[in-house]
Amino acid sequence: MSVAVDVPPTRLRRIEVLHVGRRGEVAGGMTQVVNGYLSYPFDDCDLRVIVSRDGSTGPRALAIFLGAAWRLATLRGRDERVVVVHLSQGGSFVREGLLLRLAHARGFGTVAHLHGSSFPEYAAREPARVATVLRAADSVFVLSAETRAAVLGVLPTAPTELIPNAVPEGTPRAKGKSIVFGGSVSLRKGVDVLVDAWRRIADHDGWTLHVVGPVADREVVPSELPDAVFHGGLPHAELMEMLESAEIAVLPSRDEAMPMFILEALARQDCVVATRVGGVPAVLADGAGSLVDAGDAAGLAAALERLMVSDAARDELRAAGTARFQRDYSAAAVYPMVAERWRAVLRGSR
280-304 pLDDT, tens digit each: 999 999 999 999 999 999 999 999 9
Sign of CA pseudo-dihedral 306, 307, 308, 310: positive
pLDDT of residue 57: 86
Q: Give the pLDDT confidence of 17-76 residue by residue, as tens digits.
A: 999 998 765 555 678 888 889 989 998 999 999 999 887 889 999 999 999 999 999 999
Cβ neighbours of residue 293 under 8 Å, at least 6 residues apart?
275, 276, 299
Checking if the pLDDT of 253 tops 70, the result is yes
Checking if the pLDDT of 237 tops 70, the result is yes
Q: How far apart are the C-alpha atoms of 305 and 296, rounded to whole Å?
A: 14
pLDDT of residue 1: 46
pTM for the whole structure: 0.80
Which range among 138-147, 198-207, 340-349 shows the weakest confidence by mean pLDDT?
340-349
pLDDT of residue 39: 87
Mean pLDDT of the chain: 91
Q: How far apart are the C-alpha atoms of 280 and 191, rounded to whole Å?
A: 17
